[in-house]
Structure 1
Amino acid sequence: MKLGDGVEAAIHCAAMLAGVDGDGTLPANAMAEAFGLSPSYLLKHLKALTAAKVLESLPGPSGGYRLAKPAEQITLLDIVLAVEGREPAFRCGEIRQKGKYALDPSAYVKPCGINVAMLKAERAYRAALAGTKLSDIVSDFSENTDQRIVAASCAFVALNQRPQKRTINERKIP
């Protein structure tokens, strides 16, 4: 099974957005530049993550993207399904019932063993992704990655994040 390159980009962007302060955002162009991606290519995946409510998109000159909920509440499965869709990777076409040597449909009462095995593997794969939170990825990055990479990533986020201005209605009056 091969996941599309968009999954890698989506997970990296979500992990980067986990480092944004408060209500701040990061612009799509900055994330595309950080990972050497085409902005239009990345935008397609950011829109999918927004539609899946993994990210929020804020318009305007200080707009950009941020996580829609805490990183502890986002799983890798959430991100993969947003980018790749909900269909299983393997889709049985029942080819055993086609072709020159196909038998009467009554011979095929038991499910295809190949389909059963592939769906079992799909469930295991999805369970592993569902058990891994974005916060786990970020924590592991912070603890186990060369600290020069961590520092560069933190500096990039600090340099490119856009703080959100509150309107008068949103300000708390003492």
Structure 2
Amino acid sequence: MSEGVEWVLHTCVNLSWVGRPVRSARLATFYDLPPAYLNKQLQSLVRAGVLTSVSGPKGGFTLARDPASISLLDVVTAIEGTDPAFRCAGILAAGPWGDKEADYAATCVISTAMRKAELAWRKELARQTIADVCASVERRAPGEPERTRRWLS
């Protein structure tokens, strides 16, 4: 996974606490990130319907939906895409007992195990929301939302 996933997950949490548009440059400064690269990642979230981009002097980025309706999988797929992490190349076909006609992506034990693991990972990401992450952070660091609001204001 690219580092952009981490950046935008933290940014979504911060935006949920702020509750108003924040410019990408300000969001980038919060974690000392490259502004142009973060902005590119944020635009991906806009295209995916996770964020809204507001133009004008009080513009910036804001969550497009309630944090409870934005899953971690929504964010990950907006940045990384929906392609599977593991792609079976069917190397068994080239082995000494290989069958050039076999569908190894469907029958290979390794391919099956990798698909099963990825499905479990995606289900877990789909189960957790930005609101869930916010609640966990708030339990561990109760002052974090207010500190973040003040800093980004």
Task: With the length of structure 2 as denominator, give the TM-score of the two structures.
Answer: 0.91
- Say if 2:5 and 2:79, in contact at 8 Å, map to a contact too: yes
Q: 1:107 to 1:136 in 2, by over 3 A?
A: closer
- Say if 2:71 and 2:129, in contact at 8 Å, map to a contact too: yes
The structure whose RCO (Cα within 8 Å, separation 6+) is larger is 1
Q: Post-superposition shift, 1:151?
A: 4.2
Partner amino acid, structure 2, of 1:11:
L
Q: When you count helix as a share of all residues, which structure comes out higher?
A: 2
1:132 aligns with 2:128: yes
SS at match of 2:92: helix
Q: Of 6, 24, 33, which aligns to 1:8?
A: 6
Greater C-alpha radius of gyration: 1
Q: How does 1:115-154 map to 2 (within 5 A)?
A: 115-145=111-141, 147=143, 149-154=144-149
Q: Post-superposition shift, 1:61?
A: 2.0
Q: How does 1:68-107 map to 2 (within 5 A)?
A: 68-98=64-94, 101=96, 103-106=98-101
Question: Which runs of 5 or more structure 2 residues have no equivalent in the other structure?
Answer: none
Deviations 1:134-156 (A, max 9, x none): 00101111111264x44432321
For 1:143 and 1:152, the matched residues in 2 are separated by: 15
Query: Kindly, what percent of the aligned residue pairs are identical?
Result: 35
SS at match of 2:17: coil
Count of paired positions:
152
1:18 aligns with 2:16: yes
Partner amino acid, structure 2, of 1:84:
E
For 2:85 and 2:102, the matched residues in 1 are separated by: 27
For 1:125 and 1:29, the matched residues in 2 are separated by: 32
Task: With the length of structure 1 as denominator, give the TM-score of the two structures.
Answer: 0.80
Runs of 4+ in structure 1 off by over 3 angstroms are: 106-110
Q: What is the aligned-residue RMSD (CA, Å)?
A: 1.8
